[in-house]
Structure formats: structure tokens, C-alpha cells
């Protein structure tokens, strides 16, 4: 892997200087009604409550700087911290990289199973075992060739002490049924305080698979909760209930590429809608989040989705939605060095080409800010770093650092 020792520091210095300047004169646009969205919605649907969409803009007052630490990754998808401050970054083609805290030293880990990397597939998310410091075990999700197609799978393995290989790899869960497609794997991972693993799965995009999101005898379009061995987590809401897979924690989701636990221990997902209808959801056990039946979006053709309804008894409303879409991907709750950001939700946006900052109070959105919009990057994942800074990876292969100036 080549690394241009001259170009990156110069580029980083340029970004620091320009971003600090734009921090005082925000790059985000603000509409006449005070929101960050300036484009017309795709639909004429009305929100269920005030503040569910197009909330007022907020602006960061604390000076911060933006640096590009590296630009040499191959379609990065997930980023986490190792206990020593280094990063573990997944790359869609089927491997992971160990990266120094300054982004300069990059080494590949070998030994992973084969992935189906076409379309939106590949090596996807990664999470450390809660006991990683003593067992060196990681968990990862990937699109696995399986049956007559592929599916979202979760595996675990043990990293070597030098972090160059992974051994004892075992697939612990497969989100069946498999399907011969290349979209909507979902695939974020998050451990709860009890050491159980939340897994998000998409409904695989096509109309013939969309219906699975509302069916409970399968694993598509779901939020799942499993043990470290891939079994249903104790206390799951549907254990022992006929017609329900016991690993299901919640259902009726579309393509949840963001999954995070807030400082109070609550679970949130951020998922992609069709044309309009990107959502933030407060995920609660046993709830149905409506996809397939209700949405604030429309088909890519312009037609209604299903009956064209946004509310139905027995389904949950999104806490917030966007129309037009921002294509939200990885998310994180901020706990770092900038006081006004603490507790805020940060979202990497793909088509939106920015990092979205969401301010919440009592589980309601009260403000929105679009950061780094001037970078014109598809932000795939964001990390609340252990050093108090935010890190982000982009589809173009960059690693960003955002820190207090």
C-alpha cells in the first residue's frame, strides 16, 4: 500500500486551515424557514408531529479542525478503536486494516472468509468482544456467498498478538433466507452492557424481498439480538412465540446501516429510505417500525410505496425523517472534548455528502447541523474516538479526524 509522505500532510494542513475558517462561517446552507434542508420534498406527506422533519438549524460555536490522516483505503466501511488507540478499519473487498492513531502506518489482517463484494456487499462492520483485552476476539459482519445467492452473516475470530492474522474463524449467525442480490445488507453491530450483540439486517431492496421485513419467520429487515455464540439473547421479546424467530428484537426496517447505543443505554438505528423517508428510530423490543407498509418516502419511479400511508396502528413512528434523503450510514453518539456536541448523534451521510449532527432532548430532535459539506465526500462511518475526537471514513478511501482546535 503506497503512502505519499509529502502529499497527505500538506493536504491535511490545507484542510485544517480551510475548515477552521468555515467553522466561523458555516458551510451549510439554511433555508428561509431556518432549517438545513433547502430542497423540496419528494412527497406531500405531512409529519405526524412537530419536529419530526426539517428541524431548525444549529451551528457549532466551538472552533474545531479537520484533518485527512490517510487517503489510501480500499472502500472502507467500518471503523472502531483498538484498546491501544489504533484503529481497525474494514474494507469492502474482504479484509481489515490496522491503522496507527495518526493514520500513517497501515497493515492488513489476513485469514478472513470469502466475501461477495459486488454492489453494496463485502466486508462490512466490526466490533470488539467486550473481553477483547484478554481474548483478542473480534466480531464482524459480511455478505457471505451462501446457497443460491448471498446473505448477511456474522462471524467471530481471534486476532493474533501481532494483529496480522485472524484464526479460529466461525460464522455464528446467518440472516436467512439467502438471496441473489447485491443491496441492503444492513449489517451494523453493537454490543450492549450485558455482552449481547445487536445486529441490523436489510430487506435486500427488491420488491420480492421487501415483504420479508413485515414477516417474522425470517431475518430480513430486522434488528436482532444474539449472544456471543449466535444464539437468541436471553430476554428477547419473541422467545417461545409461534411464528417468530427468537433472535428478533424488532422488525419492519429497510436498510439500517447505522446502529448505536446512547449514553443511557438506549438503542437507535438510522436507516435508508427510498426517495425520501430516511429515518432515525428509537429501537424498543418487540416493536414494528413499519417498512413495507408505512413510510414517508416514495418509490424511485415516483409511485407510492404500498398504500401510500405514513401511519398505521401497531407500527412505530420515526423520531425523525428526511425528504429528500441524505443516505445515512454509520452513526455514533459523541462523548468527546467539545462540550456542545456531547450526547449528540453524528451520522455519516453518503448521497448527502456531509456528517450530520443531530441534537436531541428527551429523545426528540431539536436541532440539525451539516458538517464537512464542503468536502464533497460520501461519509460511510463515523467513530466517537477514545481520545475525544471524531473519526470518519469515506467511500473514496479517506480517514478524517475532527478535533477541538
By C-alpha distance, which of 154, 87, 138, 188 is closest to 392? 87
Full-model pTM: 0.93
Give the residue numbers marked as catalytic. 184
pLDDT the model gives residue 14 = 38
Q: Cβ(334)–Cβ(360) under 8 Å?
A: no
- Backbone phi, psi, residue 329, to 5°: -125, -120
pLDDT the model gives residue 32 = 82
By C-alpha distance, which of 346, 393, 389, 390 is closest to 370? 346
By C-alpha distance, which of 395, 403, 377, 382 is closest to 79? 382
Q: Which residues contact 121 (CB under 8 A, 6 or more apart)?
A: 92, 115, 142, 143, 150, 182, 185
Bridge-partner residues for 391, per DSSP?
383, 401
> How far apart (Å, rounded) are the C-alpha atoms in residues 328 and 355?
9
3-state helix, strand, coil in the chain (%, to 5): 10, 40, 55
Dump strand ranges (E) for 323-378: 328-333, 345-349, 355-361, 364-371
pLDDT the model gives residue 29 = 86
> How far apart (Å, rounded) are the C-alpha atoms in residues 150 and 128?
25
CATH of domain 7-404: 2.120.10.30
> How far apart (Å, rounded) are the C-alpha atoms in residues 254 and 208?
13
Tens digit of pLDDT at every position of the chain (405 positions): 444 443 344 444 334 433 343 443 446 889 888 899 999 999 999 999 999 999 999 999 999 999 999 999 999 999 999 999 999 999 999 999 999 999 999 999 999 999 999 999 999 999 999 999 999 999 999 999 999 999 999 999 999 999 999 999 999 999 999 999 999 999 999 999 999 999 999 999 999 999 999 999 999 999 999 999 999 999 999 999 999 999 999 999 999 999 999 999 999 999 999 999 999 999 999 999 999 999 999 999 999 999 999 999 999 999 999 999 999 999 999 999 999 999 999 999 999 999 999 999 999 999 999 999 999 999 999 999 999 999 999 999 999 999 999
- Backbone phi, psi, residue 388, to 5°: 90, 0
Domain ranges of the chain: 7-404
Bridge-partner residues for 110, per DSSP?
165
Buried-state track 138-156, b at ≥16 Cβ within 10 A, e below 16:
bbbbbbbbbeebbbbbbbb
CA angle 377, 379, 381 (to 5 degrees): 160
> How far apart (Å, rounded) are the C-alpha atoms in residues 103 and 289?
39
Q: Cβ(87)–Cβ(76) under 8 Å?
A: no
Q: Classify residue 39 as exposed, middle or buried by CB count within 10 Å of its CB (0-12, 13-18, 19+).
A: exposed
pLDDT the model gives residue 258 = 98
Bridge-partner residues for 221, per DSSP?
none
Amino acid at each position: 500500500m503506497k503512502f505519499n509522505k509529502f502529499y497527505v500532510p500538506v493536504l491535511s494542513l490545507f484542510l485544517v486551515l480551510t475548515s477552521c475558517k468555515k467553522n466561523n462561517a458555516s458551510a451549510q446552507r439554511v433555508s428561509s424557514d431556518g432549517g438545513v434542508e433547502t430542497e423540496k420534498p419528494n412527497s406531500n406527506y405531512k409529519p405526524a408531529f412537530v419536529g419530526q422533519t426539517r428541524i431548525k438549524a444549529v451551528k457549532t460555536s466551538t472552533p474545531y479542525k479537520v484533518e485527512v490522516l490517510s487517503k489510501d483505503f480500499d472502500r472502507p466501511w467500518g471503523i472502531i478503536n483498538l484498546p491501544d488507540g489504533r484503529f481497525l478499519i474494514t474494507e469492502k473487498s474482504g479484509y481489515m486494516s490496522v491503522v496507527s492513531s495518526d493514520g500513517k502506518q497501515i497493515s492488513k489482517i489476513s485469514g478472513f472468509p470469502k466475501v461477495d463484494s459486488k454492489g453494496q456487499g463485502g466486508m462490512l462492520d466490526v466490533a470488539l468482544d467486550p473481553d477483547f483485552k484478554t481474548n483478542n476476539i473480534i466480531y464482524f459482519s459480511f455478505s457471505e456467498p451462501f446457497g443460491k445467492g448471498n446473505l448477511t452473516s456474522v462471524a467471530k475470530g481471534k486476532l493474533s498478538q501481532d494483529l496480522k492474522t485472524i484464526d479460529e474463524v466461525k460464522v455464528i449467525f446467518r440472516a436467512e433466507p439467502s438471496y441473489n442480490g447485491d443491496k441492503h445488507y444492513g449489517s451494523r453491530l453493537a454490543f450492549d452492557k450485558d455482552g449481547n450483540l445487536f445486529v441490523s439486517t436489510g430487506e435486500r431492496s427488491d420488491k420480492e424481498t421487501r415483504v420479508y421485513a413485515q414477516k417474522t419467520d425470517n431475518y430480513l429487515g430486522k434488528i436482532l439480538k444474539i449472544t456471543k455464540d449466535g444464539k437468541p439473547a436471553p430476554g428477547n421479546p419473541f422467545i417461545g412465540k409461534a411464528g417468530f424467530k427468537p433472535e428478533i428484537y424488532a422488525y419492519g426496517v429497510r436498510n439500517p446501516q447505522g446502529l448505536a447505543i446512547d449514553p443511557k443505554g438506549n438503542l437507535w438505528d438510522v436507516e435508508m429510505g427510498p426517495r425520501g423517508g430516511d429515518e432515525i428510530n428509537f429501537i424498543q423490543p418487540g416493536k414494528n417500525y413499519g417498512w413495507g407498509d408505512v413510510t414517508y418516502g416514495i418509490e424511485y419511479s415516483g409511485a407510492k410505496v404500498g398504500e401510500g400511508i405514513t401511519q398505521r396502528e401497531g407500527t412505530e413512528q420515526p423520531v425523525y425523517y428526511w425528504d429528500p434523503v441524505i443516505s445515512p450510514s454509520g452513526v455514533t453518539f459523541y462523548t468527546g472534548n467539545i462540550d456542545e456536541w456531547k450526547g449528540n448523534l453524528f451520522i455519516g451521510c453518503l448521497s448527502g455528502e456531509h456528517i450530520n449532527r443531530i441534537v436531541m432532548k428527551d429523545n426528540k430532535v431539536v436541532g440539525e447541523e451539516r458538517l464537512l459539506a464542503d468536502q464533497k465526500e460520501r461519509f460511510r462511518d463515523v467513530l466517537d474516538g477514545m481520545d475525544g475526537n471524531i473519526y470518519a471514513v469515506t467511500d473514496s478511501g479517506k480517514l478524517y479526524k475532527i478535533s477541538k482546535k
